[in-house]
Amino acid sequence: MPFAPALHAEWIKIRTLRSLLSALAAMLLATAAFAALATAEADGGDADPLFSVFFGISFGQIAAIAFGTTAVSAEFRNGALGVTLAALPDRLRWFAAKATAIALPTLGVGLLTGLATLLVGKAVLGDSGPSWGQGLRGAVGCGLHLTLMALFAAGLAAVLRSGTATLSVLIPFLLIVSFVVGDLSGGVADFLPDRAGQVALHSDGDGTLGPWGGLAVSALWTGAALFAGAWCVRRRDA
């Protein structure tokens, strides 16, 4: 089967699973809702206005990893992957189609999330908010970061072959390691996949990584996860 029909088949799977559509909707709603709360608290304060606008991405990325995880882990339930590989024996082509089918809707919803969040933040903060230039950079960074996190989760799900195991690793990592241990470990924490990607959402670019450098670090983590996932898909039995 050529790549285009394989991609179409994977897209049909995604758009017909209610849990996946719900995860995409939650990504937008959680990011925008928590951003509205954060900007209301930061109105007139000394907080970074750009990160105040995009603060909700810390919660939206949980929905993104749930989307990437569920899209892949569903293949390992009830022999679904065996049926898929009977139609498309080329495992690497299937995994590439799966990753693309995850990336495209996540990027689209992620960019929409970034723009909606920016508009909400500008409406709340007014003149004290970030400039439109910074805000649009943040909106693009938001979409790219959410996409990378979904793909990172997809790669890990292909390695662990379980949605429960993948979420049990990633959600505590995001909520505990990143927030607690990360704040105590200095500059090393800047290279964690979630924190690196969020550098683009800060007005101050004087840290170890610049906005695009941080996204590049996240992309390296994601590439490594996808490579490991592809290797496991190719080597293990369905």
Q: Answer whether 54's CB lies under 8 Å from 60's CB.
A: no
Half-sphere exposure of 35 (CA within 13 A, CB side): 35
Q: What is the pLDDT of residue 166?
A: 94
Distance, CA of 54 to CA of 198 (rounded, Å): 9
Q: What is the pLDDT of residue 99?
A: 96
Q: What is the pLDDT of residue 202?
A: 83
Q: What is the pLDDT of residue 178?
A: 67
For the chain, the structural domain boundaries read 3-235
Distance, CA of 162 to CA of 64 (rounded, Å): 17
Distance, CA of 235 to CA of 238 (rounded, Å): 9
pTM of the model: 0.91
Regions of the chain with pLDDT less than 50? none
Q: What is the pLDDT of residue 45?
A: 57
What are the structure tokens assigned to 31, written together?
């990011």
Q: What is the pLDDT of residue 88?
A: 83
